[in-house]
Amino acid sequence: MPGLLDPGNPALALAGGPPGRRLVVVDARVHELHGDRLHHYLDARGVDHETLVLPVHAQVKTMDAVFQVADRMDSFGISRRGAPVLAVGGGVLAEVVGLACTLYRRSTPFVRIPTTLHGLLAHRPEVETLVDPAFLVTLGRRQVASGLAEVLKVALIADADLFGLLERRGRDLLDTRFQAAGVGTAVLARVVGTTAFDDGTSDGGHFGHILSPTLETRALPELLHGEAVCVEMALSTVVARRRGLVDAEQTERILRLMRRLELPVRHPLLESIALGEALADTVRRRDGGRWLPLPSGIGAGVLVDDLGGRELVGAAGWLRAWSAVTAAAPTLDG
DSSP character string of 144-199 = HHHHHHHHHHHHHHH-HHHHHHHHHHHHHHHHHTS-STTTHHHHHHHHHT-GGGGS
Angle 184-192/141-158 helices, nearest 10 degrees?
A: 50
Does the pLDDT value for residue 201 go beyond 70?
no
Taking the C-alpha atoms of residue 218 and residue 117, their distance in angstroms, rounded to an integer, is 43
pTM attached to this predicted model: 0.70
CATH 3.40.50.1970-classified regions of the chain: 11-121
Percent of the chain with pLDDT over 70: 81
| Position 271, amino acid | E
Does the pLDDT value for residue 332 go beyond 70?
no
Q: Identify the CATH assignment for 11-121 out of 3.40.50.1970, 3.40.47.10, 3.30.565.10, 3.40.50.2020.
A: 3.40.50.1970
CATH 1.20.1090.10-classified regions of the chain: 133-325
Q: Is 11 helix (H, G, I), strand (E, B) or coil?
A: helix
CA angle 232, 169, 182 (to 5 degrees): 125
| Position 227, amino acid | E
Quote the pLDDT of residue 202: 42
Q: Are 84 and 110 in contact (CB under 8 A)?
A: yes
Q: Is 79 exposed, middle or buried (0-12, 13-18, 19+ CB in 10 A)?
A: buried
Does the pLDDT value for residue 167 go beyond 80?
yes
Taking the C-alpha atoms of residue 301 and residue 204, their distance in angstroms, rounded to an integer, is 7
pLDDT band at residue 119 under the 50/70/90 scheme: low
First-to-last alpha carbon distance for the chain, in angstroms, is: 64
Does the pLDDT value for residue 172 go beyond 90?
yes
pLDDT band at residue 79 under the 50/70/90 scheme: low
pLDDT tens-place string over residues 276-311: 777 777 666 665 566 789 999 999 999 888 888 888
Does the pLDDT value for residue 199 go beyond 60?
no
Could you say which architecture CATH assigns to the domain 133-325? Up-down Bundle (1.20)
* Residue of 135, 131, 154, 153 whose CA lies nearest to 144: 135
pLDDT band at residue 56 under the 50/70/90 scheme: confident
Q: Are 115 and 155 in contact (CB under 8 A)?
A: no
Does the pLDDT value for residue 230 go beyond 80?
yes
